């Protein structure tokens, strides 16, 4: 197996113009648009492997000048899969702008319920619909069969459970946010509604079945992992640090907590860090071949400071899960690693289903809490000019950072989304696959699919992750009715590079 030094060397080839280029475009069964490019020599040895984010959305720029109270609703348009995560991260930042550090118990519990519904539906979608074709049928199965239609045909009960689990999560979102997609439940300083008794009772009627299905999904993910243990342990495996929020006493907390980072041996890099000070611990790097940033832990530098976020990091990092079934699953998961952290990339699926079960159990706890139907929903404070909200989205730690002026208009915004935090790790994982499986072999669709399998394990949301480099090149061509180019303007940032008439 190639060591990590060689993996990092595959980021940039020495003589790219002399190499053959292979592109996997578009990436399938992921949210958003991206591609992978491989450069190979004459003997099919991989010399360069990169994950490219090819779409640009620019939310950090165009929300500037908007009033702060629009942010929780506006920024969730980043994504139709995880809008609740952006809605709540922005709401937590806006709470600080209006001087609220702690919402009322009813408001916080409504937000937590909304968020758990979001993670449950997102995890169900990813596991059952996007990843299960690879896990159930194998990486080299016929492409016409290796999809959700194949799952429906051969495992109809499993596919149905995935649909119904996601439906339940969407119902939780509907009752807490007002709509299943792009709701308005969180407002500055709190929420705009609590659960009615009829809404609570409707969710309670189904929750025990949801918990049972979630336990079954966890058992399936674990069984699949152990059926081909050595391959699943090694496939796309890299050694990285892990970053997540942790609640009081190191408990798994997907809504709030302090930042915790662990080294591969399980030792702490930092712990119980107020996430409003994230800039002291995390630095962002940009590279010219992707619209996605490359964050790293500041104290370790850009190479050693790579980290992973999401279910794998959260289950590795936490000391306890505050629900009984998920906690038993966490103990078993952590025992698998022996010493240190579980680093197997395909263990993301196992960890994701532990969180699915936790969310189902935690939803029931909240539904039985009297605060969830309470009426004290909002509080106020003194205005501030800066707010930072951090939350654990389905795919990992999500940062929203805003500054406003005296008129309440946004002057600066910075978003570090979950997939961005995983960017270095995803690139390292595809290089791991390329180095282990590609060298000297004739490329085929099943072989190229292994690259996508590695990426899908992270459940990336590529739409959320796009980011400008500060210089957004633009080329405009003027074409006449016959299709002839009669003029061209090329612009780089704010500087016109060339203008010509033809």
Contacts of 24 (CB under 8 A, 6+ apart): 35, 36, 37, 38, 448, 451, 452
Give the Å distances, CA to CA, from 449 to 110, 430, 433.
Answer: 41, 11, 10
d(CA 334, CA 324): 16
| Burial classification of residue 201, based on how many CB atoms lie within 10 Å of its CB (0-12 exposed, 13-18 middle, 19 or more buried) | exposed
Task: Let me know if residue 485 belongs to a domain.
Answer: no
Q: Facing residues of 399 across strands?
A: 390, 416
In 3D, which of 213, 115, 112 has the Cα closest to residue 164?
Answer: 213
> Which token pair is 16?
């790219």
Q: Which domain holds residue 374?
A: 59-421
307 close to 317: Cβ distance less than 8 angstroms: no
| Burial classification of residue 208, based on how many CB atoms lie within 10 Å of its CB (0-12 exposed, 13-18 middle, 19 or more buried) | exposed
Q: What's the half-sphere exposure (Cβ side, CA atoms, 13 Å) at 313?
A: 34
Question: What CATH number did the domain enclosing 306 receive?
Answer: 1.10.645.10
Task: Let me know if residue 426 belongs to a domain.
Answer: no
Residues of the chain with pLDDT under 50: 1-2, 468-474, 490-502
490: left (phi over 0), alpha (psi -120 to 50) or beta: beta
pLDDT tens digit sequence for 313-344: 999 999 999 999 999 999 999 999 887 899 99
pLDDT of res. 480: 63
Give the Å distances, CA to CA, from 183 to 146, 339, 371, 440.
Answer: 34, 43, 21, 51
What is the 3-class SS of 412-472, one letter each residue? EEEEECHHHHCHHHHHHHHHHHHHHHCCCCCCCHHHHHHHHHHHHHCCCEHHHHCCCCCCC
* End-to-end CA, the chain: 55
pLDDT of res. 487: 63
pLDDT of res. 57: 66
pLDDT of res. 472: 42
Task: Let me know if residue 502 belongs to a domain.
Answer: no
402 close to 417: Cβ distance less than 8 angstroms: no
> Which token pair is 115?
């968020």
Q: Is the sign of the CA dihedral 372, 321, 159, 33 positive or negative?
A: positive
pLDDT of res. 465: 59
Buried b / exposed e across 229-246, counting CB within 10 Å, b at 16+? eeebbebbbbebbbbbbb
Q: How many domains does the chain have?
A: 1
pLDDT tens digit sequence for 146-156: 999 999 999 99
Buried b / exposed e across 100-109, counting CB within 10 Å, b at 16+? beebbebbbb
Full DSSP string of 261-295 = EE-TTS-EEEEEE-GGGGGGTEEEE--TT-SS-EE
SS3 16: helix
> Which token pair is 442?
């004739």
Task: Let me know if residue 80 belongs to a domain.
Answer: yes
Task: Let me know if residue 23 belongs to a domain.
Answer: no
The whole model's pTM is what? Answer: 0.91
Q: What's the half-sphere exposure (Cβ side, CA atoms, 13 Å) at 222?
A: 16
Q: What's the half-sphere exposure (Cβ side, CA atoms, 13 Å) at 228?
A: 11
Task: Let me know if residue 102 belongs to a domain.
Answer: yes
Task: Let me know if residue 117 belongs to a domain.
Answer: yes
Task: Let me know if residue 482 belongs to a domain.
Answer: no
């Amino acid at each position: 197996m190639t060591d990590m030094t060689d993996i990092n060397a595959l980021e940039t080839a020495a003589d790219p113009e002399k190499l053959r280029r292979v592109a996997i475009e578009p990436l399938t069964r992921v949210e958003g648009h991206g591609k992978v490019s491989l450069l190979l020599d004459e003997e099919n040895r991989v010399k360069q492997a990169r994950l490219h984010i090819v779409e640009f959305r620019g939310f950090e720029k165009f929300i500037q000048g908007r009033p702060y109270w629009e942010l929780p609703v506006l920024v969730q348009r980043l994504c139709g899969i995880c809008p609740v995560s952006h809605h709540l991260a922005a709401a937590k930042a806006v709470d600080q702008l209006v001087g609220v550090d702690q919402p009322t118990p009813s408001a916080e519990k409504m937000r937590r319920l909304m968020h758990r519904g979001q993670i449950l539906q997102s995890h169900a979608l990813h596991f059952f619909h996007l990843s299960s074709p690879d896990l159930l049928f194998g990486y080299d199965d016929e492409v016409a069969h290796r999809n959700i239609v194949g799952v429906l045909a051969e495992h109809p009960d499993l596919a149905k459970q995935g649909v119904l689990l996601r439906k339940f999560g969407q119902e939780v979102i509907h009752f807490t946010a007002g709509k299943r997609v792009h709701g308005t439940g969180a407002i500055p300083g709190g929420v705009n509604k609590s659960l009615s008794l009829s809404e609570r009772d409707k969710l309670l009627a189904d929750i025990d079945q949801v918990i049972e299905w979630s336990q079954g999904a966890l058992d399936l993910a674990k069984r699949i992992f152990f059926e081909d243990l050595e391959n699943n342990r090694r496939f796309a495996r890299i050694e990285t640090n892990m970053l997540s929020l942790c609640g009081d006493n190191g408990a798994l907390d997907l809504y709030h907590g302090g930042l915790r980072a662990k080294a591969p041996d399980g030792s702490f890099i930092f712990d119980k860090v107020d996430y409003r000070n994230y800039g002291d611990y995390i630095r962002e790097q940009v590279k010219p071949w992707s619209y996605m940033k490359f964050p790293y832990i500041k104290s370790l530098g850009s190479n050693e400071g790579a980290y992973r976020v999401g279910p794998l990091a959260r289950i590795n990092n936490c000391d306890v899960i505050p629900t009984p079934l998920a906690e038993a699953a966490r103990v078993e998961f952590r025992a698998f690693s022996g010493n240190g952290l579980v680093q197997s990339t395909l263990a993301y699926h196992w960890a994701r289903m532990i969180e699915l079960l936790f969310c189902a159990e935690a939803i029931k706890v909240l539904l039985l809490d009297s605060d969830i139907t309470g009426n004290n929903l909002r509080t106020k404070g003194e205005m501030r000019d800066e707010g930072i909200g951090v939350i654990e989205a389905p795919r990992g730690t999500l940062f929203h950072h805003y500054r406003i002026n005296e008129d309440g208009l946004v002057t600066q915004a910075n978003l570090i989304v979950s997939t961005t935090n995983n960017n270095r790790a995803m690139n390292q994982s595809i290089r791991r696959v390329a180095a282990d499986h590609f060298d000297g072999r004739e490329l085929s669709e099943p072989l190229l699919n292994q690259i996508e399998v590695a990426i899908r394990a992270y459940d990336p949301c590529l739409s959320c992750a796009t980011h400008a480099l500060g210089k957004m090149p633009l080329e405009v061509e003027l074409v006449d009715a016959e299709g002839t180019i009669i003029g061209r303007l090329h612009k780089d940032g704010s500087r016109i590079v060339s203008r010509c008439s033809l």
